[in-house]
Structure 1
């Protein structure tokens, strides 16, 4: 059995509801809103979790949101769609086992998703901000598959990659290929293909962190690669020359300069420290 088959065999299935919701087209808004509500309502547990996250996002409201229709109306189609993927992904991680590397991978994914969405908004790409959020959240699903199928070996590899100085994602991918015959990017793309996810999320798995990205998804990939890179810098540290050098390609694609990086990171950390939805999402995996 090859690595892909082992990984997919050990990984809990992403609920069908996530792939169905990602296929909905917001253009026909009345139909899509109705379908979104119908699909989510099929799973009472998912509905309850969505409402919990929605209430954390709208914590200043005097009255608690107690139904999906209100949540969709207040937060909008794209935000609710992101929440569905977020909640189903957290459920999948919880079902994968209870070892420390899973909590670490979840925390990294959530930070990457929130950082990347804020980066999209601040660079004038609000129209794809939720798409960027989902892509950043799912980009490392191949790491999760390694963690559940090759637990001991991959736990050691991940821990080693975070020693000082941390191992860049590209080098981690090389180590994975040497050890397992493929890297987390290839494995993640194959998994999302098998789940029939939209092309942009498959490409996000396959090409995130690469300096050679397809023209079709260049903006999305640049946003998640830069957002993820910044999100992984320890909060008490500043960007060093090596980190900045690795991010230069994405700066160029997004029309940013090196001087923009540290102010953005500091501002984002301040915002996220007060963001109740972000805090709630990190705590989904205890």
Structure 2
């Protein structure tokens, strides 16, 4: 398959830091120093992390002015997630288009939170962070395509909704390639772990035969579907049975269905402090 014309270096932050942050070993003796070095190497990411850390929700009473202080107060996991939020937001912030903000940025942020919540249902806390990251990064291909040609991608939005088709179909109609191809290329260009191709480089609406064995991927697929079904990232789906059937196809048990399809699940995500802090910045 021919490479896409996307310029992966034309982004407002250093792509190398995301690979460093994702690949850090939380159990390593030097993980604290490596996380500090990675975040501090990009002023934009460091500034946004400190801005969020000093918000009323995270602040512990003392103004945080350094990344090491932030890590010592909030812990490695929280600061790592905030750094990835900052990286993603820097990519999304190049446009103020409302359709883009709702169907890509807010969709990605809510999918990250939902994916983490669903992963918790499986009882494997060690995977929660990765589920959040996967949700945050899964539509990066769309962001890069939008930044490559904003006018054409607005036509993609319009075409997908008017024809009730997938974004992949609409992207091929206008660009000749899709965000999954771009996402897979980004994994290579940015030197992300190989497993991220499953999050960023595939159509999440078409589960592979063995997807039930991957808790993070199952959580991501379910979260992505639920947000789209709520009209955030795709056409709204009102039919309860259709939604329940989709969740079953992702390998989720009935008890989890009830929680995820409850009328307060999506509004509850929007009450999450991380979402409220980051949705509008």
TM range (shorter): 0.7 to 0.9
Q: Which runs of 5+ in 2 are unaligned?
A: none
> Counterpart of 1:126?
125
> Counterpart of 2:276?
279
Q: Give the conservation status (yes or no) of the 8 Å contact 2:120–2:128.
A: yes
Q: Give the conservation status (yes or no) of the 8 Å contact 1:219–1:253.
A: no
Counterparts of residues 1-286 of structure 1 (less than 5 Å): 4-6=4-6, 8=8, 14-28=14-28, 30-56=29-55, 58-59=57-58, 61-95=60-94, 97-104=95-102, 105-162=104-161, 167=165, 171-207=166-202, 208-212=204-208, 214=210, 218-232=214-228, 233-234=230-231, 240-250=240-250, 252-253=251-252, 256=255, 258-263=257-262, 266-267=264-265, 269-270=267-268, 272-273=270-271, 275-284=272-281
After superposition, the C-alpha distances for 1:148-204 in whole angstroms (9 at most, x for unaligned) are 2232232122134346x964xxx3213323443322112211122111111222221
Q: Which runs of 5+ in 1 are unaligned?
A: none
Higher share of residues assigned helix = 1
Change (3 A) 1:280 1:131: same
What secondary structure sits across from 1:186 in the alignment?
Answer: helix
What TM-score comes out, normalization by structure 2 length?
0.83
- Taking the aligned partners of 2:183 and 2:159, their CA distance within structure 1 comes to 21
After superposition, the C-alpha distances for 1:64-105 in whole angstroms (9 at most, x for unaligned) are 43332232123322222221111011112224x444443231
What TM-score comes out, normalization by structure 1 length?
0.82
- Taking the aligned partners of 1:41 and 1:60, their CA distance within structure 2 comes to 20
Q: CA deviation at 1:57?
A: 7.5
Q: CA deviation at 1:52?
A: 1.8
Higher relative contact order (CA closer than 8 Å, sequence separation 6+): 1
- Taking the aligned partners of 1:21 and 1:101, their CA distance within structure 2 comes to 30
Q: Give the conservation status (yes or no) of the 8 Å contact 1:200–1:217.
A: no
Size of the aligned set, in residue pairs, is 274
RMSD of aligned C-alpha atoms?
Answer: 3.0
- Taking the aligned partners of 1:41 and 1:100, their CA distance within structure 2 comes to 31
Q: Give the conservation status (yes or no) of the 8 Å contact 1:110–1:282.
A: yes
